[in-house]
């Protein structure tokens, strides 16, 4: 593994992404992230991890967090991400993330962090005691990315601003030390439109694993019955025709889910629904979801029970990640004037 990933690193661009193990992953995470990562893994030198350190920016139950972190890793593997081809690990297993984050924090500005829309949204929900970690969260994310000389970061639209900040920090640090630029300046990779799955209860908002309304999201751990129930309850739009129309975000979302899971084109799907009711669309979307999710769910269940296997993957991943991250961190420490131990 270590050897093959070194070889890969010489010829392929580094692609890196992560999800927060703050809850179970959803169909939105699968279609908008994991499935795309799995498709891209052969063409890139891939690094995927579970950001347990980002998760504690809001209160977590410790046992839950541990279990969700294993589960996130198991879900990556069940979704087709190959641990022999990619580096898979838990963020807290690579100390360089926190170490680089501190140096970057000292080079980031209060003003730019205050402009992050995710911070504004999340802090507005927190009341008076807003954890500072919520404010510096994007700097930790920048460290995640810059440590590995990443070129491409597949993320959803909502994370684009954090990638912009990462680029600004990389350029700022490189300019400070022009003799030996420290970081590659990464690009976001925003998946194709069809990969954006919306809430089943409010199709104008993204499907989110942290939505308090459990009916708004399909979790990859949901039973067949639950999937069917949630889709039957999905909010649809006025009228009764099944068409692709901005006025019908609920219908568009169901068609998007079908298209993303079957690979069929939206116009072909729409043509098949002429003269049919919303109810048909809901039930058929449920059947398609069940077919896609069942094998992933069963595999996640099997893998999460096999802690020996998961621990072994995490250990191997942390070893490769630490080796790469340390190289960047050493250079940063040297440049800012720390005595290398
Ligand atoms: N902030 C991202 C999210 O909430 C997760 C994340 C943390 C991430 N570090 C990252 C994504 C590095 C891509 C690259 O979705």
- CATH number for the domain including 277? 1.10.240.10
For the question of residue 209 being annotated catalytic, the response is yes
Q: Are residues 18 and 133 in the same domain?
A: yes
Do 197 and 28 meet the contact criterion of CB atoms below 8 Å apart? Answer: yes
Which entry of 12, 13, 35, 122 is annotated as an active-site residue?
122
Q: Are residues 21 and 89 in the same domain?
A: yes
CA of 261 to the centre of ligand 1 (A): 24
pLDDT tier, 5 (very low <50, low <70, confident <90, very high otherwise): very low
Q: Are residues 225 and 119 in the same domain?
A: no
Q: CA 6 to CA 315: how far, in whole Å?
A: 17
Domain with 55 in it: 5-190+307-336
pLDDT for res 193: 66
Overall domain count for the chain: 2
Residue 3 has pLDDT above 80, yes or no: no
Whether 208 maps to a domain, the answer reads: no
Residue 6 has pLDDT above 90, yes or no: no
Report, as an integer, the average pLDDT of 64-93: 97
pLDDT tier, 128 (very low <50, low <70, confident <90, very high otherwise): confident
Report, as an integer, the average pLDDT of 214-227: 97
- CATH number for the domain including 46? 3.40.50.620
pLDDT for res 10: 61
Q: What 8-state DSSP symbol labels residue 49?
A: E
pLDDT for res 191: 79
Q: Are residues 91 and 237 in the same domain?
A: no
Counting from 1 in the atom list of ligand 1, the atom nearest the Cα of 141 is: 9
Task: Ligand 1 pocket test: pick from 17, 18, 147, 149 the residue with the most ligand atoms within 8 Å of its Cβ.
Answer: 18
User: Which residue's C-alpha comes closest to atom 14 of ligand 1?
Assistant: 17
Does the pTM surpass 0.85? The reply is yes
Q: CA 339 to CA 328: how far, in whole Å?
A: 15
Question: In terms of DSSP bridges, do strands 14-19 and 187-189 run parallel, antiparallel, or are they unpaired?
Answer: unpaired
Whether 286 maps to a domain, the answer reads: yes
Higher pLDDT residue, 22 or 115?
115
Residue 147 Cβ inside 6 Å of ligand 1? The answer reads no
Summarize pLDDT for 225-237 with one digit per residue, the tens.
Answer: 999 999 999 999 8
Phi, psi of 33 (to 5 degrees): -135, -75
Share of the chain above pLDDT 90, in %: 87
Summarize pLDDT for 166-182 with one digit per residue, the tens.
Answer: 999 999 999 999 888 89
Q: Are residues 184 and 36 in the same domain?
A: yes
Summarize pLDDT for 260-314 with one digit per residue, the tens.
Answer: 999 999 999 999 999 999 999 999 999 999 999 999 999 999 999 999 999 999 9
Residue 159 Cβ inside 6 Å of ligand 1? The answer reads yes
For the question of residue 206 being annotated catalytic, the response is yes
Q: Are residues 295 and 312 in the same domain?
A: no
């Amino acid at each position: 593994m270590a050897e093959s990933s070194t070889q890969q690193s010489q010829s392929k661009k580094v692609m890196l992404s992560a999800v927060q193990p703050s809850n179970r992953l959803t169909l939105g995470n699968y279609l908008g992230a994991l499935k795309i990562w799995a498709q891209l893994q052969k063409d890139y030198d891939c690094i995927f991890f579970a950001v347990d350190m980002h998760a504690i920016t809001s209160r977590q139950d410790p046992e839950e967090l541990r279990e969700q972190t294993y589960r996130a890793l198991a879900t990556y593997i069940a979704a087709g991400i190959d641990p022999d081809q990619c580096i898979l690990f838990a963020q807290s297993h690579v100390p360089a993330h926190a170490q680089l984050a501190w140096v970057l924090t000292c080079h980031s500005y209060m003003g730019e962090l205050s402009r992050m829309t995710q911070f504004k949204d999340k802090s507005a929900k927190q009341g008076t005691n807003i954890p500072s970690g919520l404010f510096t969260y994007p700097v930790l994310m920048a460290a995640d990315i810059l440590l590995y000389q990443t070129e491409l970061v597949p993320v959803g639209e909502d994370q684009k601003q954090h990638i912009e900040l990462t680029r600004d920090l990389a350029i700022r640090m490189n300019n400070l030390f022009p003799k030996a630029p420290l970081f590659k300046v990464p690009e976001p990779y925003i998946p194709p439109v069809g990969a954006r799955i919306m809430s089943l209860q409010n199709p104008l908002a993204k499907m989110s694993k942290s939505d308090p309304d459990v009916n708004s999201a399909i979790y990859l751990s949901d039973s067949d019955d639950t999937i069917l129930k949630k889709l039957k309850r999905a909010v649809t739009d006025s009228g009764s025709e099944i068409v692709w129309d901005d006025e019908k975000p609920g219908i568009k979302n169901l068609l998007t889910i079908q298209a993303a899971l079957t690979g069929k084109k939206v116009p072909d799907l729409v043509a098949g629904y002429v003269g049919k009711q919303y109810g048909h669309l809901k039930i058929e979307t449920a059947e398609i979801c069940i077919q896609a999710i069942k094998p992933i769910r069963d595999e996640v269940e099997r893998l999460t029970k096999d802690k020996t296997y998961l621990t072994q993957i995490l250990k191997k991943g942390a070893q490769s990640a630490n080796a790469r991250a340390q190289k960047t961190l050493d250079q940063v420490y040297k440049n800012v004037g720390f005595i290398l131990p």
